[in-house]
Amino acid sequence: MEINLIDLQKKLRNDGILISFCGRFSQEIIEELGDAVKKYLETESISQNDTYNVFSIFIEQTQNIKNYSASKSSSPIGGKIANSGIVTIGKSENGHFVSSGNIIESKDVDALTGKLDIVSSLDKIGLKKLYKEQMKKEVQIDSAGAGLGLIDMARKASGPLKYSLVKLDEEFHFFTLRVNI
């Protein structure tokens, strides 16, 4: 079957999506897309600060997916996870949004929702406190991240983080995160 790009484009436009990428996130792709996001936002008349907020949420989301994939790279399902990434940056009536998704192992669902529920239950003051506590924790050698990404996104977001988990089969779920800025 031929891919119908007109329909795909229509769908993207209807959802307000300006930039999208789907596939394996490398640092180079993150950097290039990050630049594209910044350049695009500079043509819109928004403040430098809003531009950096969108850019920063884009970086945290894509690096989270990349770090998660990297943590699974030695496993036979590593490739499936790494290739499952998608990120979109768009505009709605409430401002900009960054939405991303990837496959996660079902056994990681509880740990992830646990973190998200804590972050979602806090106001900006509580989030700042949590951020500082996490900042003081010793770095785990095997991790490329500092465990600060979700907290930071929640602090910069204009509303609560929105997420969903769709069960694909016993072994995998698809995780989607949307952050409005």
Partner 1 sequence: MEKLYIESTKSTPEIRFDPVINQMYIKGQSYPENAFKFYEPIFAWVDEYIEQMEQEVLVEIYFHMPYVNTSSSKCLMMLLEKLDEAYQAGKKVMVRWYYDKENEMAMECAEEFKEDLTVPFEINPVEENS
Query: Residue 145 CB, nearest distance to partner 1 (Å)?
Result: 5
Q: Which of 133, 151, 155, 142 is closest to 71 using CA atoms?
A: 142
Least spacing, CB of residue 44 vs partner 1, in Å? 15
Residue with Cβ nearer partner 1 (30 or 81):
30
**Binding segment for partner 1 among 100-108, 113-121, 146-154, 161-169 (CB under 8 A)?**
146-154
> Is there binding between residue 42 and partner 1 (CB under 8 A)?
no
21 binds partner 1 (CB under 8 A): no
Residues that bind partner 1 (rule: CB under 8 A) add up to a total of 26
Tell which residue, 39, 64, 33, 63, has the closest CA to residue 51. 39
Exposure letters 113-150 (e unless 16+ CB within 10 A, then b): eeebeebeebeeeebeebbeeeeeeeeeeeeebeebbb
Nearest to 61, CA basis, from 114, 92, 35, 97: 97
Give contact residues for partner 1 (rule: CB under 8 A): 27, 31, 34-35, 47-49, 52-53, 55-56, 59-60, 63, 66, 128, 132, 135, 139, 144-146, 148-149, 151-152
